[in-house]
Structure 1
Amino acid sequence: MSFPATAQDAATTFIEQHTMADQRLLLTLPGMTIDVVSNQLKLLEELADYFRHVATLKPAKQALSTDGSSDTAATIVCIEHANVELDVAWQQWQREAGKTGRKDAFYPLEDGRLLFKVRTGMVFLQSLTYRIAIGPCLANSNQIINFINNQYINKLQQSDWLIGHAAAVTSGSKGMAFCGFSGGGKSTSMLHLMANGRYQFVSNDRLFIRREHGQLQCRGIPKLPRINPGTIINNPALLPIINEQQAVRYKAMHTNELWPLEEKFDADVIRLFGANRINHASSLDFLVILNWQPSNASPCTITQVDIAKRHDLLPALMKSPGPFYQDQTGKFLANGADVLTDKALQQVYIDALQGCEVYEVSGGVNFEQLLEHCQRLLD
Structure 2
Amino acid sequence: MENIFRFFTTHLSLTPGRPASAEASVFVHSYAELNIKNLEWEEVLIRRNKYPEFHLYGLRGLPEAGKEMILSEHTGTAILFEEHHRRIHLYISERSYIQVIDLIRDLFIRLEEYRGTLVLHASAASDGEKIIAVVGRKGAGKSTFLLELLVDHQYKFVSGDKLFLRINDGEIQAYGWPDYPSLGFGTILKYPRLAEMLKAEGYELDPAKPEAKILFSPHLLEKVFDFQFIAGPMPLQAVLLPDVLASEETGVIQESDPRLVTEHVEITANNPLNGWNHFIKPASSDVMLPKIQQLSDALSTCRMVSVRGKGILDSELLSRITDSSARALV
For the 8 Å contact 2:244–2:311, the answer to whether it is kept is: no
Question: Which among 241, 247, 254 is matched to residue 197 of structure 2?
Answer: 241
For the 8 Å contact 1:202–1:281, the answer to whether it is kept is: no
Normalised by the length of structure 1, the TM-score is 0.64
**Is the deviation greater in 212-221 or in 192-201?**
192-201
Distance 2:315 2:106 in 1: 31
CA offset at residue 286 of structure 1? 0.7
What is the identity, as a one-letter code, of the residue corresponding to 1:179?
V
Greater relative CO, 1 or 2 (CA 8 Å, sep 6+)? 2
Aligned partner of 1:287 in structure 2 is 239
Aligned partner of 2:281 in structure 1 is 331
What is the identity, as a one-letter code, of the residue corresponding to 2:143?
S
Flag the 1:226–1:297 CA change in 2: closer, same or farther, 3 A: closer
Is the counterpart of residue 156 in structure 1 residue 112 in structure 2?
A: yes
Flag the 1:372–1:187 CA change in 2: closer, same or farther, 3 A: farther
Q: Per the alignment, in what secondary structure is the counterpart of residue 263 of structure 1?
A: strand
Is the counterpart of residue 266 in structure 1 residue 217 in structure 2?
A: yes
What is the identity, as a one-letter code, of the residue corresponding to 1:234?
K
Distance 1:223 1:231 in 2: 18
For the 8 Å contact 2:77–2:91, the answer to whether it is kept is: yes
Distance 2:102 2:297 in 1: 29
Aligned partner of 1:26 in structure 2 is none
Distance 1:245 1:307 in 2: 43
CA offset at residue 205 of structure 1? 1.0
For the 8 Å contact 1:91–1:105, the answer to whether it is kept is: yes
Ranges in structure 1 where 5+ consecutive residues have no aligned partner: 1-43, 63-67
CA offset at residue 161 of structure 1? 0.7
Aligned partner of 2:3 in structure 1 is 46
Q: How many residues align?
A: 307
Question: Which among 18, 25, 44 is matched to residue 75 of structure 1?
Answer: 25
Q: Structure 1, residues 284-343: CA drift from partner, whole Å, max 9, x if none?
A: 1111122x254x7555542211124xx36643x2224255699xx943379xx9x9xx97
**Is the deviation greater in 202-211 or in 112-121?**
112-121
Q: Per the alignment, in what secondary structure is the counterpart of residue 282 of structure 2?
A: coil
Is the counterpart of residue 361 in structure 1 residue 307 in structure 2?
A: yes
Q: Per the alignment, in what secondary structure is the counterpart of residue 211 of structure 1?
A: strand
Aligned partner of 2:79 in structure 1 is 124
Flag the 1:94–1:273 CA change in 2: closer, same or farther, 3 A: closer
Normalised by the length of structure 2, the TM-score is 0.72
Aligned partner of 1:351 in structure 2 is 297
Distance 1:51 1:93 in 2: 20
Flag the 1:206–1:123 CA change in 2: closer, same or farther, 3 A: farther
CA offset at residue 55 of structure 1? 5.7
Flag the 1:281–1:224 CA change in 2: closer, same or farther, 3 A: farther
Match runs of 1:303-322 below 5 Å: 303-308=253-258, 311=259, 314-315=262-263, 317-321=264-268, 322=271
Distance 2:322 2:151 in 1: 14
For the 8 Å contact 2:157–2:227, the answer to whether it is kept is: no
